[in-house]
């Protein structure tokens, strides 16, 4: 019986035009279909969406809620508001809208007040909706602010650089935030595509690293895969990697000392994002006071090697 082939969870069968597996923002290149509304979790959606989208949703929810209650005050028979004296329908609607905003936020300036049972029942219901709504929005805001997330910067390209008597595949990372990361671990995997037509198949191979972990991460870390005998990249040229549609998949895991939780970062490099004649330039230096100065924007800085060094 044949030994099962290694699959990290990204499928091996692939019969369509191939794109990269991991996008540049760390997300997987997967589009979901067949999801029903029961499968959508609003909390997960709101907690993970961009900040601009979150505040837009909160603003429109606030606007819609006020508009609905304003229409209720304006149209339901028996609802009376003391202090509302606008002469036109548009003016009356604006008065009910701003009264709704004051009730929803429990501000209650007192210029307009509900009069009668229907109006007081409606305003009481709106107050309850406002308290619950703002509690939910505040909880989401706190969850977004307190959620640990890694802002690990990756070099734009990998390099094929000299290593001992041979060469190695390298990439470099840096922590873009001021929080402390420790016990950092790196995993590197090579994905290639073999076969043709409908029989094309993905193959995954773990790339052994010179150093799989570091205790501390205050500076940069150059992750190195030595290309020695036994390495899937041994003897491979740039043209061969292109034919194989090679993609290097990266997983970084570390402990965030600020939040006391483990954080992850994903990235990938394709065959055309490997620089074959360069090495990484220094990204930090020592100033006159003896302090190490890290230049975060130079995480991907390269220095071109001459032909003799490249060989």
142 and 240 in contact (C-beta within 8 Å)?
no
Res. 2 pLDDT band, cuts 50 70 90: very low
Burial 117-140 (b: 16+ CB within 10 A, else e): ebbeebbeebeeebeebeeebeeb
User: How confident is the model over 130-162, as pLDDT tens digits?
Assistant: 999 999 999 999 988 888 777 899 999 999 998
Cα dihedral: 292, 297, 299, 300 (round 10): -150
User: How confident is the model over 174-224, as pLDDT tens digits?
Assistant: 999 888 899 999 999 999 988 766 667 888 999 999 999 999 999 999 999
Domain boundaries, the chain: 37-146, 152-310
| Its pTM surpasses 0.95 | no
User: How confident is the model over 72-117, as pLDDT tens digits?
Assistant: 999 888 788 888 888 898 999 999 999 999 999 988 888 888 888 8
Neighbours of 201 (CB within 10 A): 14
Q: Coil, strand or helix: which one is 46? A: helix
Residues 6 or more apart in contact with residue 276 via CB below 8 angstroms? 159, 160, 238, 310
Which among 234, 228, 243 has a CA at the least distance from the CA of 164?
228
Residues 6 or more apart in contact with residue 66 via CB below 8 angstroms? 97, 100, 101, 104
Q: Rounded to the nearest 5 degrees, what angle is found at the Cα of 175, between the Cα atoms of 172 and 180?
A: 135
What does CATH list as the number for 152-310? 2.60.40.1400
Cα dihedral: 77, 79, 81, 86 (round 10): -20
User: How confident is the model over 236-293, as pLDDT tens digits?
Assistant: 999 999 998 899 999 999 999 888 889 999 999 999 999 998 899 999 889 889 888 9
Tokens of 104: 């929803």
**pLDDT on residue 7:** 74
* Dist. CA 279–CA 306, nearest whole Å: 11
* Dist. CA 286–CA 165, nearest whole Å: 30
**Cα 144 to chain center, whole Å?**
12
**pLDDT on residue 180:** 87
Contacts made by residues 26-34, CB under 8 angstroms, sequence distance 24+: 26/265, 26/266, 26/267, 27/266, 28/266
Domain topology for 37-146? Helix Hairpins (1.10.287)
Res. 5 pLDDT band, cuts 50 70 90: low
**pLDDT on residue 310:** 47
Name the percent of the chain lying above pLDDT 70. 93
* Dist. CA 273–CA 156, nearest whole Å: 8
Q: Coil, strand or helix: which one is 201? A: strand
Res. 16 pLDDT band, cuts 50 70 90: low
Helices (H), 76-114: 89-104
User: Is 60 exceeded by the pLDDT of residue 4?
Assistant: no
Q: What is the DSSP letter of 22?
A: B
**pLDDT on residue 208:** 95
- Report CA torsion sign: 138, 139, 140, 143: positive
């Amino acid at each position: 019986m044949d030994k099962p082939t290694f699959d990290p969870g990204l499928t091996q069968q692939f019969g369509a035009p191939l794109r990269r597996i991991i996008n540049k923002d760390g997300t997987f290149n997967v589009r979901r279909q067949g999801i029903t509304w029961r499968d959508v979790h609003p909390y997960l959606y709101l907690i993970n969406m961009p900040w601009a989208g979150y505040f837009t949703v909160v603003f429109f929810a606030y606007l819609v809620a006020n508009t609905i209650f304003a229409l209720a005050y304006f149209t339901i028979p028996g609802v009376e508001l003391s202090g509302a004296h606008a002469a036109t329908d548009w003016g009356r609607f604006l008065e009910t809208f701003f009264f709704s905003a004051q009730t929803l936020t429990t501000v209650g300036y007192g210029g307009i007040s509900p009069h009668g049972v229907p109006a007081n029942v409606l305003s009481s219901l709106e107050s309850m909706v406002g308290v619950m709504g703002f509690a939910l929005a505040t909880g989401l805001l706190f969850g977004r602010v307190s959620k640990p997330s890694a802002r690990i910067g990756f070099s734009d390209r990998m390099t094929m650089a000299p290593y001992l008597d041979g060469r190695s595949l390298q990439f470099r990372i840096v922590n873009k935030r001021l929080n402390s990361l420790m016990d950092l671990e790196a995993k590197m995997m090579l994905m290639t595509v073999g076969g043709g037509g409908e029989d094309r198949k993905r193959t995954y191979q773990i790339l052994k690293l010179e150093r799989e972990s570091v205790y501390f991460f205050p500076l940069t870390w150059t992750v190195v895969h030595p290309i020695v005998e036994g390495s899937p990249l041994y003897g491979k040229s740039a043209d061969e990697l292109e034919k194989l549609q090679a993609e290097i998949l990266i997983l970084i895991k570390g402990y965030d000392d600020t939040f006391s939780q483990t954080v992850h970062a994903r990235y990938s490099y394709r065959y055309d994002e490997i620089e074959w004649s360069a090495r990484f330039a220094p990204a930090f230096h020592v100033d006159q006071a003896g302090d190490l100065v890290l230049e975060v924007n130079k995480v991907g800085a390269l220095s071109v090697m001459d032909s003799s060094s490249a060989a």
